[in-house]
Amino acid sequence: MIHIALPAMDEPDLPARLLDLNRQSLLPKTVCVCINQPRAYHSDGIRQHSLICRTNQEVYERIGQLKAECRFAFELETIDRFSPQNAWDGKHFGVGLARKTAMDFLSRSTGVNGDDILVCADADTRYPDDYLENIQKQFDAYPQAVGLANPYYHTPEEENLPETQQIAILRYEVYMRSYALNMLLSDHPYAFTAVGSSMACRMKTYRKIGGLSPFKSGEDFYFLQKLAKTGALMVHSDSVSHPSSRLSGRVFFGTGPALRKGMENRWESYPVYPPALFEKMQAAYKALPALFESGEPSPALDFWQEAFGADWWVSLRQNSGGRKEQFIRACKEKFDALRSLQFLKANYRQDDTEDWRNLCRLYRLLAAAGFEDGHMADLCGNSGVHSLAELKLQDWKELREYLFLCERRWRSRHPLLSAF
């Protein structure tokens, strides 16, 4: 059975989105919605916060009315963390805490089986009618898997957005997909993409890893990292989720803040990293067996030495019980997805011209791997483009589409990501 956890704040369309779940070819057993906001919104005098209070109350009442009318084909639980007496207090608030609250409620519910599937959703993400059915099929096909990072695809043109905003969301997705494809090409053990509205795991796995950590932003990234350290993570499904392309300032990083920065032409946090940096990480991982055997770090591990200190590996080797595989696993757990991202950020500064060169380098690697494309070859070699700033909306659409299809094909061939 499938259970859905859904955080919501200032989502006037939430009742309609919940009714949309009635159309799923495989209905969820339970949906738990956590409507939330900081308590301060009730009294700080800020007009926008007052509007959020009103929307949350109206949505809560409307959902209650629909539930009383038996309009939902599944069990619906609504958690009030928005009213004056129940709203988040102090520094503890945000989407991570709301998502965790809903997920924890479901994991503790009576009658929930450890093999049941816990699905994360968002009110502003659209799901095809076979979304849950295909998630169930993936877990049935790979019973050893601990979770799923479901594929995603933004559709800005369907929301009638201004051209500048369409370019911003496409550029952000190009950033995400170029990162993912570089990770895949270098056989990186943490080659997942974190999209909070597109994750799932077994209930027993959720309990085993101690649940989701309630960060105000990035809770999806850390959650998938925990799953990847536990076992094989699925990275493919036949159904694709469609996250919103709207502007938002409710989280510190993610799609909404990226769009806001992009609209201001501030892309410093979203570069196209050089493939050479991913190759450097790949060389370091490959050097681990020799380190175990010789006790002497090779030059490929120099940046690990800088990050962890000269003797970082000694205790890991001593605690491995003489097992090379255990040592390598411990090393990969130490230099994880977060450390990898920190390494990339420390060794590359965003630049439109160099970013474009990095995209062209990535295309050449993908073409060599069998993902050739005539338009991409022309764009990278014969178009006269020298910078991301020179690309037009149509160029961004075609770039995103190409990278999406490359990633889709790659992950369909290799649906399980096993860090160890």
Give percent of the chain above pLDDT 90.
Answer: 82
**Does residue 253 surpass a pLDDT of 60?**
no
Q: Tell me the two tokens of residue 123.
A: 């009110």
Query: pLDDT-based confidence at 134, cuts 50/70/90?
Result: very high
Which residue from 286, 283, 295 is spatially nearest to 328, judged by alpha carbons?
A: 286
Q: How confident is the model at residue 183 (pLDDT cuts 50, 70, 90)?
A: very high
187-222 pLDDT, tens digit each:
999 999 999 999 999 999 999 999 999 887 789 999
Query: In this structure, what token pair is assigned to residue 246?
Result: 């709207």
Q: For position 361, what pLDDT does the model report? A: 97
DSSP annotation string for 256-311: HHHHHHHHTT--TTS----HHHHHHHHHHHHTHHHHHHHS---GGGHHHHHHH-TT
Model's pTM, two decimal places? 0.93
Closest by alpha carbon to 222, among 125, 330, 169, 149? Answer: 149
Backbone region of residue 246 per phi and psi (left: phi > 0; alpha: psi in -120 to 50; beta: other values): beta
Average pLDDT of the chain to the nearest whole number: 92
- Using one digit for the tens of pLDDT, what is the confidence trace for 332-373? 999 999 999 999 999 999 999 999 999 999 999 999 999 999
- Mean pLDDT throughout 267-285? 94
Q: What distance in Å separates the CA atoms of residue 361 and residue 281, rounded to the nearest whole number? A: 17
Nearest-angstrom CA–CA distance, 220 and 149: 10
- Look at 66-70, 174-178, 310-314, 408-412 and tell me which has the smallest mean pLDDT: 310-314
pLDDT at position 418: 82
* Maximum Cα interatomic distance, the chain, rounded to a whole number of Å: 70
State the pLDDT at residue 97. Answer: 94
| pLDDT of the residue at 269 | 85
Tokens of 401: 């589409």
Tokens encoding 362: 């990535």
Residue 252 gets which letter from DSSP?
A: S
In this structure, the dihedral spanned by the alpha carbons of residues 395, 375, 415 and 168, taken in order and rounded to 10 degrees, is 0
Alpha-carbon distance of 350 to 358, in angstroms, equals 11
Nearest one of 131, 86, 94, 111 to 219, comparing CA atoms: 94
295: left (phi over 0), alpha (psi -120 to 50) or beta: left
Which residue segments constitute the domains of the chain, with CATH numbers given?
2-154+191-246 (3.90.550.10), 276-346 (no CATH)
42-64 tens-digit pLDDT: 999 999 999 999 999 999 999 99
Give the total residue count for the chain.
Answer: 420
Q: Is 60 exceeded by the pLDDT of residue 249?
A: no
Mean pLDDT of 389-412: 95
Selection from 63-67, 265-269, 317-321 with the highest mean pLDDT: 63-67
% of the chain beyond a pLDDT of 70: 96
- Give the whole-angstrom CA distance, residue 44 versus residue 126: 33
Q: Are strands 75-81 and 30-36 parallel, antiparallel or unpaired?
A: parallel
pLDDT band at 158 (very low <50, low <70, confident <90, very high): low
pLDDT of 420 over the 90 cut: no
Q: Which residues pair with 75 in a beta bridge?
A: 30
CA–CA dist 360, 381 (Å, integer): 8
pLDDT of residue 404: 97
pLDDT of residue 307: 92
SS3 234: strand
Quick one: pLDDT at residue 92?
A: 79
Q: CB burial class (10 A; 0-12, 13-18, 19+) of residue 335?
A: buried
Two structure tokens written together for 404: 């999406």
Look at 251 and 147; give whichever has higher pLDDT: 147
